[in-house]
Amino acid sequence: MNTPRLSQEFLTNLAGQIVRNEVFATNTEEGLNNSFGTLLMFMGEGMNEEELHEKYKDVGGMWEFKDKAEERSVDGWPMFLSGHIIHRLDCIPLYKEVERLETLIDGNVTTGDTPEARDDDAGGSDEVPGSEPEGVAPGSPPDEKRPQA
């Protein structure tokens, strides 16, 4: 099986979807078996262990949109009957990008525009935390400074 590689643009977009909790991705044996086990069973139907290993040697993980999860779960893991393969060489760059985005977001939330950091003479905002639009963390920077994932 020819497992396609992710382009840098797709990898970055996928990482953003993972950070926004829109996509579930896993590269662990437990995660693959519990979340994609049914799909994997059908993908390997009629093959012995050697044939499976050879055919799927480039598979490093799988992902799927969370809204495609079944109503039931397996030991707390979401269960999917569809999924997308992550090439083994794309797993590390994908999870590094997820980590980079999470660090960027955490840094902006904790060091953003807070009442303590405001200076009226410097043009700081007079808005108080909690008055931000729904879904925006208190103390988040203005829209033009907010990272776009």
Give the pLDDT of residue 109.
64
Q: How many CA atoms, within 13 angstroms, populate the side-chain half-sphere of residue 2?
A: 1
Residue 128 lies in a domain: no
Domain assignment of residue 71, yes or no? yes
User: If you average pLDDT over residues 36-53, what whole number do you get?
Assistant: 88
* Mean pLDDT score, 117-146: 47
The reported pLDDT for the residue numbered 112 is 52
Within a domain: residue 121? no
Residue 125 domain flag? no
pLDDT for 108 equals 72
Please say if the pLDDT value at position 42 is more than 90.
no
**Domain hosting residue 98, numbered range:** 8-110+135-140
Where does the pLDDT of residue 58 fall: very low under 50, low under 70, confident under 90, or very high at 90 and above? Answer: very high
Residue 21 lies in a domain: yes
The pTM assigned to this predicted structure is: 0.68
The mean pLDDT value of the chain amounts to 80
**Does the residue 126 lie in any domain?**
no
Contact 22, 66 (CB under 8 A): yes
What is the domain count for the chain?
A: 1
Q: How far is 98 from 13, CA to CA, in rounded Å?
A: 10
Residues 6 or more apart in contact with residue 56 via CB below 8 angstroms: 1, 3, 43, 44
CB neighbourhood size of 62 (10 A): 21
pLDDT at res. 3? 87
Res. 83: pLDDT tops 60: yes
> Would you say residue 122 lies in a domain?
no
Say if 1 falls within a structural domain: no
**What average pLDDT does this structure show over 1-22?**
94
Neighbours of 31 (CB within 10 A): 17
d(CA 88, CA 59): 5
% of the chain exceeding 70 in pLDDT: 72
Specify which residues 24 forms β-bridges with.
64
For a pLDDT cut of 90, what percent of the chain falls above it? 54
